[in-house]
Structure 1
Amino acid sequence: MEYRITDGIVEAIIESHGAELKSFKLLKNNEEFMWKADPKFWGRTSPVLFPIVGGLKDGKYIYHGITYEMGQHGIARDNEFKVISHEKNKIVFLFESNEETLKDYPFGFKLYMGYSIENSCLSIEYRVENISHEEMYFSIGAHPAFSTPTSENIEFSDYYLEFEKNETASRFPLEGKNISRNTIKFLENSKKIELEEDTFKDDALIFKNLNSKKISLKCKKNTRVVTMDYSEFEYIAFWNKVGAEFVCLEPWNGIADFVDASGRLEEKDGIIKLEGQEKYKAILKIEIQS
């Protein structure tokens, strides 16, 4: 079921299945900023990544000597969330462990997804509670796809990504669904990533611990801008399905398995450990303008 929140200037629509952000628009001109989820390219808009980000080595992990299987980006995106509260400008969803989740992920948890709008800014709160007395391990991330509409005068190559600061950084390349440690130099004292049709031909661009805490998706030929504050996330990745009119801005606390991963969950790169009864929170902020 879809739920709307608004501050009268912008409006967001969130689907209870996966607590997935489906729409974020400016009301003054009804301009949509989210990808339309065309299944020809990619049928999602903004999946919640939990309790893993990316893919596991061989699709499996080991915990306390038991092998578990889990698909890419985890289980939250394919499950129904309950609505805990809903007001005009905010809503909170809950997904919690059950008999089915325990088959793939042996931890008792509550995952709250809170969406709120204030002063035209959409805040997304990721809150995880360990409801057991034992430690738990997880990763969490966002995967929103923002539209890059084209026309006779605007091509995909007219869009670009701009960090708030100049960056000198290397990216992590993918090998299949896993990550290579052989990083590739990518940014040299620059704050811009110019987008071309083939920028993502080798999959996502993945960075860790950049100086910038904000990233903007802009167009050279209009005033359309998406700005994301990902200051509470360790990794940032960018992705597009070649030929589609969108770019994903993906802040992660966690990462796909590296090619040399041991497979042990507690040794996984980027994994977060919560002690018994402990709570975790991270907030992502998105602003749009045109």
Structure 2
Amino acid sequence: MEHTLKNDFLEVKINSFGSELTSIKDLKTNEEYMWQKDPKFWAKSSPVLFPFVGGLKDSRYSYRDKTYEFPFKHGFARDYEHKVSDEGENFIEFVFSSNENTKKLYPFEFNFFMKYVLEGRKLRIEYRVENLGEEEMYFSLGAHPAFSTPLKDGLDYSDYYIEFEKDEKGDAKVLNGALIASGKTENIFNGKIMNLSKERFINDALIFEKTNSKTVYLKNTKNNRKIGFEYDGFRYIAFWNIPGAEYVCFESWNGISDFDDCSGKLEEKTGIEKIKGKEIYKRAIEITIFEV
């Protein structure tokens, strides 16, 4: 079911299936800022990544001497209907809870909340993980919004660029299929600007760890269109596109695909988050649509 938040500046739409953000429209210009799910390329717009980010080696992992088959990339929360748990004039909150099906794949009991709050020209997305069990809970969390890069008024995809708030070394992880190549990085850019091109993501996502910046911007050289993306509290920031499609994903992650030399043990998984029994974990991102 689709839900709408609206104020004088923006109209935001969220689908309760996966708590997926599907639209951010500027009401002044009537311009859409989210990718509109063209199945020719990619039929998602902003899937949530939980309880894993990326892929697992051999599509399995072990926990306490038991092996779990897990054939899904980016977890399973995006593939379930979420319930509305609270709502008000400028916010709506959804919850997804563990069930008998999830426990076969992932042995922890949890409540997973996503709350969308619209304030002025800013959309805040709050994540809350509640460990309902008595034992420690291991998980990863990631955002995956796809921002539209419309090719109109003489724009080419190469006119778009990503600008970091601070200077970066720009060393990205190297992929080995769906996994991360251990001990390898590739220098993609230096400074604040990472230019986009049709070939930029030919080898899949670009993943950066522990950046100096906590905010990045999507801009272009032909007009004043500008999106801000704040990801403080996340260890990784990744960018991705299917070549030929008019979007780029900004992906804040606490977690990452398995490394190609990993042990497969959940407790040893690189980037994994851990909370104690009955503990609550919170993170948030903010998306700002600047006035044109």
Q: TM-score, normalised by structure 2?
A: 0.97
Q: 1:31-57 deviations in whole A, cap 9, x for unaligned?
A: 100001111100000000000000011
Please state if 1:276 is matched with 2:274.
no
What's the counterpart of residue 61 of structure 1? 61
Residue segments in structure 2 that go unaligned for 5+ positions in a row: none
In structure 2, which of residues 167, 177, 185 is the aligned counterpart of residue 183 of structure 1?
185
Report the equivalent of 1:106: 107
Structure 1 residue identity aligned to 2:48: V
Q: Who is 1:287 aligned against? A: 288
AA of the residue aligned to 1:262: S
Q: Give the Å deviation of 1:284.
A: 0.2
Q: TM-score, normalised by structure 1?
A: 0.98
* % same residue: 52
- Note if contact 1:116-1:122 (Cα within 8 Å) is conserved in structure 2: yes
Structure 2 Cα separation of the partners of residues 30 and 105 of structure 1: 42
Deviation, structure 1 residue 265? 0.6
How big is the shift at 1:152?
5.4
SS at match of 2:169: strand
1:32 to 2:32 alignment: yes
1:217-238, CA deviations, whole angstroms, 9 ceiling, x for partnerless residues? 1011011111101111110000
Give the Cα separation in 1 of the matches to 2:222 and 2:113: 39
Cα root mean square deviation, aligned: 0.9
Q: Any idea what SS the aligned residue of 1:11 has?
A: strand
Taking the TM superposition and a 5 Å limit, the aligned residue runs for 1:244-259 are 244-259=245-260
Corresponding residue number in structure 1 for 2:224? 223
Q: CA deviation at 1:69?
A: 2.0
SS at the partner of 2:193?
strand
Give the secondary-structure state (helix, strand or coil) at the position aligned to 2:17.
coil
Q: How many residues of Structure 1 are paired with residues of Structure 2 in the alignment?
A: 289
2:92 counterpart residue number: 91
Letter in 2 for 1:151: K
Any residues of structure 2 matched to 1:1-290 within 5 Å, and which?
A: 1-70=1-70, 71-151=72-152, 153-181=154-182, 182-188=184-190, 190-289=191-290, 290=292
**Whole-Å Cα distance in 1 between the matches of residues 163 and 146 of structure 2?**
16
Q: Which amino acid aligns with 1:284?
A: I
Q: Distance in 1 between matches of 2:128 and 2:194?
A: 31
Paired with 1:17 and 1:184, the residues of 2 have a C-alpha distance of 36
Contact kept? 1:7, 1:88, Cα under 8 Å: no
- Secondary structure at the aligned position of 1:172 is classed as strand
Residue pair 1:34, 1:147 contacting (<8 A) in 2 also: yes
> How far apart are residue 175 of structure 1 and its match?
1.1
Q: Which moved more, 1:36-45 or 1:177-186?
A: 177-186
